[in-house]
């Protein structure tokens, strides 16, 4: 019996030491495999950790909301900027079309031609119209030319045949 007390006594003392050890020492004494169990136990025991977890989730949700809100704000700013540019370009286009319609007026062109360029209006009664006739020139055939032989020499088959003859003669 004394032997049994000696064997049991160290176990009870070790168990008491583990219970009296701090929370950090108890977590460090466990193997790394029991990570989920340690986390669940730590969350279950500590109110501070639970509050920090809840606060971090709230902050994370707020950050996501702020990110989306800033993207919407930037998109709305870009849209308003582009619509302002579009309206300015439409105004510029309308002004340029008005200037163009003024510049191509026939009366304005006539006045500039006569006053600034010192041109005179054309008098069609004194114009002389000339019709040019060009005689058709037929190419001359050489006296000893064979038309069929010339056509045969200009065919692709003749070109290939001449190329093959050239290659054979160069070998």
| pLDDT (tens digit per residue) in 120-138 | 887 777 777 888 888 888 7
**Residue 88: pLDDT above 80?**
yes
Give the mean model confidence (pLDDT) for residues 46-71.
90
Domain regions of the chain by residue span: 1-34
Residue 20's pLDDT is 59
DSSP state of 122: -
User: In this predicted model, which residue has the larger pLDDT, 78 or 155?
Assistant: 78
C-beta separation of 43 from 49 below 8 A:
yes
CB 44 within 8 A of CB 37: no
Whole-prediction pTM value? 0.39
Q: Are 55 and 63 in contact (CB under 8 A)?
A: no
CA dist 47 and 54 (Å) reads 11
pLDDT for position 130: 84
The predicted structure's pLDDT at residue 56: 94
Is 29:18 a contact under the CB 8 Å cutoff? Answer: yes
Contact 114, 120 (CB under 8 A): yes
Q: How far is CA 160 from CA 52, 152, 164, in A?
A: 89, 12, 6
Residue 64: predicted pLDDT: 95
Compute the CA torsion angle 151, 155, 159, 162 (nearest 10 deg): -40
Higher local confidence (pLDDT), 5 or 64 = 64
């Amino acid at each position: 019996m004394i032997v049994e007390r000696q064997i049991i006594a160290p176990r009870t003392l070790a168990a008491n030491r583990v219970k009296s050890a701090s929370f950090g020492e108890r977590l460090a004494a466990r193997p790394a495999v029991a990570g989920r169990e340690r986390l669940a136990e730590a969350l279950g025991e500590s109110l501070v950790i639970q509050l920090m977890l809840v606060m971090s989730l709230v902050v994370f949700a707020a950050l996501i909301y702020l990110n989306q809100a800033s993207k919407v704000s930037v998109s709305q700013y870009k849209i308003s900027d582009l619509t302002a540019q579009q309206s300015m370009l439409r105004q510029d286009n309308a002004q340029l079309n008005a200037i163009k319609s003024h510049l191509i007026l026939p009366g304005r062109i006539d006045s500039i031609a006569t006053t600034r360029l010192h041109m005179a209006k054309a008098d069609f009664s004194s114009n002389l119209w000339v019709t040019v006739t060009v005689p058709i020139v037929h190419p001359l055939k050489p006296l000893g030319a064979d038309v069929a032989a010339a056509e045969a020499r200009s065919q692709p088959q003749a070109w290939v045949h001449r190329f093959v003859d050239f290659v054979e003669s160069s070998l």
